[in-house]
Structure 1
Amino acid sequence: MNSIPNILSIAGSDPSGGAGIQADLKSIAACGGYGMSVITALTAQNTHGVRAVHVPPAAFLVEQLAAVAADVRIDAIKIGMLGSAPNIDAVAAFLREPRPGPRPAVVLDPVMIATSGDRLLSADADAALRRLLPLADVITPNIPELAVLCDAHPAVDWATAIDQARSVAAAHGVLVLAKGGHLEGGDCPDALVDADGVLLQLTGSRIATGNTHGTGCSLSSALATLHARSGDWAEALRSAKAWLTGSISAADELAVGTGHGPVNHFAWLWAGNRLPGRRQTTAAWWERISAIREAIDRLAFIRQLSSGELDRADFEDYLGQDALYLRTYAQALSRASELAPTVAEQRFWAASASECLEDELLLHRGRLGDEVPEPSGTTTAYLNHLLASGTGYAVLAAALLPCFWIYQDVGVRLAAANHPGHPYADWLSTYASEQFDASTARAIEIVDDLLAKADEELARGMWTAFEASGVHELRFFAQTRADALIPGEAVADSR
């Protein structure tokens, strides 16, 4: 996917700009997406209410959907007001159509109840909407709509709202975003709920403003956009709620109409903030290199080292290259200590460099003596990558992290395979170290902090360095004679 996802909104229009398609497009743009719109209904409305609604023929809705899908990649879909049973059935048919590429995530805001409390859908449209629900990934009903979907009275407390959300999630196999905005009290909680219960709950204080028109539309389209960028519903909800809170807080800065005004969709950006949802985490990076980690586990070298079947010559080849690697790796750790902005981080990297030389090289020398081979091309390439990353602290720290994390991850399984009489027992025992576990956790924490403060360009450079180190780790393990897998092929297989 490109860095800017394409988000399709299928909804009705609001000529005053506060809700519907207009709010969706603003929300999508504010959250870092490219917005597209297929209009299901035309309304005549302003900040005081809706005066008239015109629903074009469903056949024209089908033409709009077909035109967009034939030309533009769709990364996520937000569905709002559909207006009629034929429109709902047309959208359902569109969602069922097979298409090349990944299936776009679908967020459905079931527009069923007007602010006045009036039902907006006829009985046949209500039934059609219920058939549409299982085709969504997340639905975002307000309190009255949630009650309609589970055939109950509207919740008057948060616990009841959660129970109703669980009921709807179980009935339709979807995630439900329970929203507390319609409840009484000073809190406005939101929770992502599945059939088993709450996956994520976020709290927030109610903001004293009458300008909240279109908040449901805005939140659902922001959620779709931010999920398209992160791939994680919980992270998308965190970012969407933070963005919407800022938009509501700044709503009174606008002067739109004399009634129930809109939220300030671009306040977050106009205040000089980065796009919501830009924050990445090393946990997400770790998942992104899962194929590389799985390829490492499949290597004959790793499997034979674990079982004790590894040929002694192959083991010594590995030790020789590892000894060469560790010497220059210690230099890279020392460079990180020089660049680190805090004393605590300086001490961490310096201690890691010292441990690398004093502990691990002693074990190598005990097995190899003074016979250290020439560095292989694979070893040299890895070391050159680490040294080249040393021009900036954040990128270097990201490049060093897989050296901790992958070694620890592989080591957990190797240490578990150790037993008395194992031919490499002393070597495998080095993998089971609480001190190294703590060091790995500290390295993760440092890089996460750096990532949270990084702008988009720096974050991209950090990820590139992290991923490259993961690839080099795979190639390093794959270079011995124990493995028939050529390093280049191993990397290709991991992608």
Structure 2
Amino acid sequence: MSAADIARPGRPDDPSGHSPRGSSPRVLSIAGTDPTGGAGVQADLKSIAAFGGYGMAAVTALVAQNTQGVREVHVPPPDFLAAQLRAVSDDVGIDAVKIGMLGSPAVVAVVDAWLAEVRPPIVVLDPVMVATSGDRLLDAEAEDAVRRLCHRADLVTPNLPELAVLVGAPVAADWDTAVLQAQALHRETGTAVLLKGGHLGGDDSPDALVDADGIHLVPGRRVDTRHSHGTGCSLSSALATLAGDGRSLLDALVRAKEWLTGALENAEALQVGRGNGPIDHLHELRPHLDTGRPWSAEVWADAAAVRAEVDACAFVRDLGSGGLDRAAFGWYLEQDLLYLRHYARVLSRAAALAPTPAEQRFWATASVQCLVEEAALHQSHVTADGLSPAPATVAYTDHLHAVSAGGSYPALVAAVLPCFVLYADVGARWRGTFGPDHPYADWLTAYGDERFAASAAEAARIVDAAARAVAPADRAAMAQAYHRSMELEREFFAAPLSRLA
């Protein structure tokens, strides 16, 4: 099994009982402090909370620092660190451990002995060895001790200068050299290595998980900001939390990187300090804190006027009552068939862009279901070949393809969401209002089905997660794509009877 497959194991010896699936993972940070809250255990606890974990901390060093630099460091006696660690593990079950600043061989020895005794399910080591200025923070003996501690970890998360120290090489100046160094560290320790490309130049900022199965690249965009204080601490604790909650290390990296990008994009708005400020750990929560409702509920409410026009549309009213002209319904289904062909391709594109395997599976399954529905329409209602798309159909499919071509996953899933939630909403109100002799019972049943409602709810949940992970400008683009789709849904419903007028 590779590190990418690691998921949280059970702990039958856990004195307080292992966290059941779906509960908050209990994550212990072993690190130094930052009184301004941007790095160290303070940043770790924020990151853990951002992903729904229960954070704990054992302090290795008291650091007098701010956004402009470190002023003084006080290291408590190693025996006191050992007492902190025992106090936690004697009483609380631990699902994951994140290790940060250690500082001396004696401190490393305490942590190493405790790990050997307690054997936490997930251990993420962020080897704090090189300052942002490039200065070495540890002496040679301490560096050797941290290098040995890598063997205890499931994942090591060095920046490029720290990776160079761990493998005894110059700092990598390019991605290929960095990959070779990460592979060397993995071979030496048997531990998965997070290779971080943030110190390299260019518009992109890729990361990669290097393990026994090879190099798992996770692309990313570079955020132009000087407010990156505590980035390494925060990422490693986010990874520990996600892995402690049962995700593979690769899935955890994909999700954490998405979150970290948003945290960097929102960092300047915090206005903390006069130097290199901290990232915004809780940026994904802010849309909810502002409105009390998820993003999908907000845009749904904003589209109330369009939804009312859909409800008032003669086609929708007559379809529900059964009085709809059969020719108009047949024409509508022909256009729906043409639409579904394009919609399936757009959903497939969403699956390709999705950041997690679960989301990939959801959109891929939805795409296949569109093709199944298309086949059913051929067999039951629509038999003619050589159908021509109407202007309303062309406008809608062109809109979806344009958003898809833009390459923004959040905007794309926002654009496809109305086809889920609007039909589910109308279908829910149709449910139970017609009998088996209704001329359009099969169609009404399909959209009033509880399974379709559940699928629409899952689509909304995925879109909400995408909205939480992006900057306000990206959420505005999502809203624009969503509202345009809602308007085009209205035009699509109006077209069958408009052509007969």
Could you state the TM-score of these two structures normalised by the residue count of structure 1? 0.58
Aligned to 1:472: none
Matches for 1:463-478 after TM superposition, within 5 Å: none
Aligned to 2:349: none
**Which 4+ residue blocks in structure 1 deviate beyond 4 angstroms?**
277-280, 282-285, 342-353, 394-397, 446-455
- Tell me, yes or no, if structure 1 residue 155 matches structure 2 residue 172: yes
Matched residues in 1 for 2:245 and 2:452: separation? 22
Aligned to 1:140: 157
The one-letter amino acid of 1:216's match is G
What CA deviation, in whole Å up to 9, does each residue of 1:436-491 have, x standing for no partner?
Answer: xxxxxxxxxx9996884699xxxxxxxxxxxxxxxxxxxxxxxxxxxxxxxxxxxx
Q: Do the aligned partners of 2:123 and 2:153 also contact (CA within 8 Å) in 1?
A: yes
Sort the Cα spacing of 1:16 and 1:348 in 2 relative to 1 into closer, same or farther, 3 A. Answer: farther
Matched residues in 2 for 1:394 and 1:77: separation? 40
Displacement of 1:178 in angstroms is 0.4
Matches for 1:54-93 after TM superposition, within 5 Å: 54-93=74-113
Q: Do the aligned partners of 1:166 and 1:196 also contact (CA within 8 Å) in 2?
A: no
Aligned to 2:221: 205
Displacement of 1:27 in angstroms is 0.6
Aligned to 2:272: 256
Sort the Cα spacing of 1:192 and 1:280 in 2 relative to 1 into closer, same or farther, 3 A. Answer: closer
What CA deviation, in whole Å up to 9, does each residue of 1:242-295 have, x standing for no partner?
Answer: 000000000010111111110011112213479xx996729999xxxxxxxxxx
Matched residues in 2 for 1:186 and 1:144: separation? 20
Displacement of 1:98 in angstroms is 4.5
Residue number among 92, 106, 109 corresponding to 2:126 in the alignment: 109
Displacement of 1:49 in angstroms is 0.1
The one-letter amino acid of 1:175's match is A
Displacement of 1:145 in angstroms is 0.4
Larger RCO (CA within 8 A; separation ≥ 6)? 2
SS in 2 for 1:271: helix
Matched residues in 1 for 2:173 and 2:138: separation? 23
Matched residues in 2 for 1:7 and 1:351: separation? 54
Displacement of 1:127 in angstroms is 1.5
Q: Do the aligned partners of 2:25 and 2:53 also contact (CA within 8 Å) in 1?
A: yes
Question: How many residues are aligned here?
Answer: 313
Displacement of 1:391 in angstroms is 6.4
What CA deviation, in whole Å up to 9, does each residue of 1:83-124 have, x standing for no partner?
Answer: 11111011011111146xxx4201000000011111111222
Aligned to 1:439: none
Sort the Cα spacing of 1:348 and 1:104 in 2 relative to 1 into closer, same or farther, 3 A. Answer: farther
Sort the Cα spacing of 1:266 and 1:98 in 2 relative to 1 into closer, same or farther, 3 A. Answer: closer
Residue number among 262, 273, 293 corresponding to 1:246 in the alignment: 262
Residue number among 234, 238, 242 corresponding to 1:226 in the alignment: 242
Sort the Cα spacing of 1:284 and 1:60 in 2 relative to 1 into closer, same or farther, 3 A. Answer: farther
Matched residues in 2 for 1:237 and 1:188: separation? 14
Matched residues in 2 for 1:283 and 1:97: separation? 39
Matched residues in 1 for 2:87 and 2:377: separation? 60
Aligned to 1:180: 197
Displacement of 1:221 in angstroms is 0.4
Percentage of pairs with the same residue:
51
Matched residues in 1 for 2:128 and 2:361: separation? 34
What CA deviation, in whole Å up to 9, does each residue of 1:212-233 have, x standing for no partner?
Answer: 0000000000011111223311
Q: Do the aligned partners of 1:7 and 1:28 also contact (CA within 8 Å) in 2?
A: yes
Aligned to 1:326: none
Displacement of 1:76 in angstroms is 0.5
Residue number among 50, 73, 79 corresponding to 2:70 in the alignment: 50
Matched residues in 2 for 1:93 and 1:283: separation? 41
Matches for 1:335-350 after TM superposition, within 5 Å: 346=373
Matched residues in 2 for 1:67 and 1:157: separation? 44
Displacement of 1:186 in angstroms is 2.0
Q: Do the aligned partners of 1:107 and 1:224 also contact (CA within 8 Å) in 2?
A: yes
- Tell me, yes or no, if structure 1 residue 10 matches structure 2 residue 68: no
Q: Do the aligned partners of 1:230 and 1:236 also contact (CA within 8 Å) in 2?
A: no
Q: Unpaired segments of 5 or more residues in structure 1?
A: 286-336, 354-389, 398-445, 456-495
The one-letter amino acid of 1:80's match is G
Q: Do the aligned partners of 1:227 and 1:233 also contact (CA within 8 Å) in 2?
A: yes
Aligned to 2:331: none
Displacement of 1:128 in angstroms is 1.2
Residue number among 269, 281, 305 corresponding to 2:358 in the alignment: 281
Aligned to 2:284: 268
Sort the Cα spacing of 1:270 and 1:122 in 2 relative to 1 into closer, same or farther, 3 A. Answer: same
What CA deviation, in whole Å up to 9, does each residue of 1:132-172 have, x standing for no partner?
Answer: 11000000000100001111000000010011000000100
Q: Do the aligned partners of 1:282 and 1:447 also contact (CA within 8 Å) in 2?
A: no
Q: Do the aligned partners of 1:280 and 1:452 also contact (CA within 8 Å) in 2?
A: no
Q: Do the aligned partners of 1:24 and 1:221 also contact (CA within 8 Å) in 2?
A: yes
Matched residues in 2 for 1:17 and 1:352: separation? 63
Give the root-mean-square deviation of aligned CA atoms.
Answer: 3.3
Q: Do the aligned partners of 2:78 and 2:106 also contact (CA within 8 Å) in 1?
A: yes
Q: Unpaired segments of 5 or more residues in structure 2?
A: 1-18, 289-293, 296-353, 381-447, 466-501
Matched residues in 2 for 1:282 and 1:239: separation? 11
SS in 1 for 2:183: helix
What CA deviation, in whole Å up to 9, does each residue of 1:412-454 have, x standing for no partner?
Answer: xxxxxxxxxxxxxxxxxxxxxxxxxxxxxxxxxx999688469
